[in-house]
Amino acid sequence: MKNIATVLALSVLLAAGARAQQGPNTESDPGKDQKTTDVKLPVKASTPALDATDEELKKKVEEMKSQLEGLDEAIKELQTDRDALKKIKVSGYLQINFEKSESMNGLSVDPYDAKDFVKSRFRVRRSRIKIMYDAGSTSMVVQGDYSNSGFTLKDAYLDFAEQSLKMFSFRLGVFNRPNYEVEYSSSQRESPERSRVIGALYPGERDLGVMVTMAPEDLFKLQLAAFNNTFAGTFSQNNPNFSSEPLYFMARATKALNLGDVGIDFGVHGRFGSVRANSARLLESDVATNGAADTTSIKVGDAVSRNWFGAEVQIYYDFLGGMKLLAEYITGSDVNVLSATPGAIRKRDFNGYYAMLVKSLGDEFQFAVKYDSYNPNSKISSDVINSTSELAINTIGLGLHNYSFPNVRLTLWYDNVTTKTNDRILKEDPKDNLLTFRAQYKF
């Protein structure tokens, strides 16, 4: 307002100065007689008062220009700050669970003591804050999980988009490994937890490495990645020969199709790599865990392959509010985590899969059913297995979601868990079904 008043005052002063310099009106007044005799008027010298006014006006103009220039600079600074703030994106979500288990051993100890056998509890399942700085062709992401048990780094990576062909992008840091259910955010996934086979193969979901993504004209998407050879998603491995096999590699290719009201996404992925043996004793998949180890075909330092392959499909159908079907199958060869104390190396052929149907019920409700199967050792008959860690587990999950409140999803989910039994180590299916109520807030 001060600047506007100054401008108006300056305009009035300029107009007044202009009238003063013009002098009296010399045009003929049509209402009076005209004189034909020319009268020479003496040249009037400049008036000191007018000169002073000119100087004052010049000063006013200079002051006003300075003020306007300062205001312009301030506006530019504000625009720069605004543009920088627009590049920063903050998002996150919070999941609070109430869980009730039938298991005699109770739930995992968090947030209680290890000696407690807790069958029901409240739990902060996930508490995530994600910060992204997006500069267009480059971006940076940092995400952490905050809970009563402490802070855990989830994501810390850089993205670079190639600008010439606009087909390639690069990611470097800690990020999700390229697999459908791994990359499917926990804030969107319809089941409270990922399937059992994914949890076994990709604990923690993330690892430290680099990935290049190619997506030419949206024809397909190809992800190629290399990661530290760390089984459990940590940054170290208790293996004296780890330096001989520092990396493993992953690839995932996907394709999307639109067929009228039906959309189909399908893809394949694989994990390729080896670990170095810290023992000369190897138990192959078709040998029971108490069987005789092979001590002739392997020696300390040899490479033990750890490879698997998977196929996925997601079908979306616009039917009475929308529905989708998700499925994935993975098979391959796994190796137990090598410890600092060498023992027999356990190599197991496995397979696992899941299928889930999701159906919208109006605008506020959603129903989901999921079947999840994981066989840790597919090469040996269940009746001769002598380790509970190798028994097949099948789970049927049923859930209902509610979206009545802004930013909130309420979930009621029940998992019916069935473990394969045999007469020697597990005669009865343990009671370990789980009921989960979850309240999630996402922004």
Q: b or e along 404-431 (b: 16 or more beta carbons within 10 Å of the residue's beta carbon)?
A: eeeeebebebebebeebeeeeeeeeeee
| 40 Rama class: left (phi>0) / alpha (psi -120 to 50) / beta | beta
Q: b or e along 337-368 (b: 16 or more beta carbons within 10 Å of the residue's beta carbon)?
A: ebeeebebbbbbbbbbbbbbbbbbeeeeebeb
Report yes or no: 154 and 115 within 8 Å, Cβ to Cβ: no
Report yes or no: 202 and 179 within 8 Å, Cβ to Cβ: yes
Average pLDDT (354-365) is 95
Report pLDDT digits (tens) over 114-139.
Answer: 677 888 999 999 999 999 999 989 99
Structure pTM? 0.80
Average pLDDT (246-273) is 94
Q: Of 77, 174, 171, 86, which is closest to residue 133 (Cα–Cα)?
A: 86
Alpha helices (H) in 273-424, listed in sequence order: none
Average pLDDT (318-336) is 92
Residue 18 pLDDT level (bands cut at 50, 70, 90): very low
Class of domain 79-356: mainly beta
Strand partners, 299: none
What pLDDT is attached to residue 22?
Answer: 47
Helix%, strand%, coil% for the chain, nearest 5: 20, 45, 40
What pLDDT is attached to residue 24?
Answer: 47
**Residue 87 main-chain phi, psi, to 5 deg:** -80, -15
- What is the rounded distance in angstroms from the CA atom of residue 196 to the CA atom of residue 182? 12
Q: What is the mean pLDDT of the chain?
A: 84
What pLDDT is attached to residue 35?
Answer: 43
Tell me which range, 38-52, 53-67, 182-196, 292-306, is most confidently predicted by mean pLDDT: 182-196
DSSP states along 401-428:
EE--STTEEEEEEEEEEEE--BTTTBSS
What pLDDT is attached to residue 176?
Answer: 96
CA distances to 23, 25, 26, 49, 436 from 20, in Å: 6, 11, 14, 10, 88
SS3 annotation, 28-71: CCCCCCCCCCCCCCCCCCCCHHHHHHHHHHHHHHHHHHHHHHHH
Average pLDDT (145-149) is 84
- What is the rounded distance in angstroms from the CA atom of residue 392 to the CA atom of residue 200? 13
Could you tell me how far CA 73 lies from the centroid of its own chain? Answer: 38
CA distances to 213, 243, 247, 355 from 209, in Å: 13, 16, 9, 30
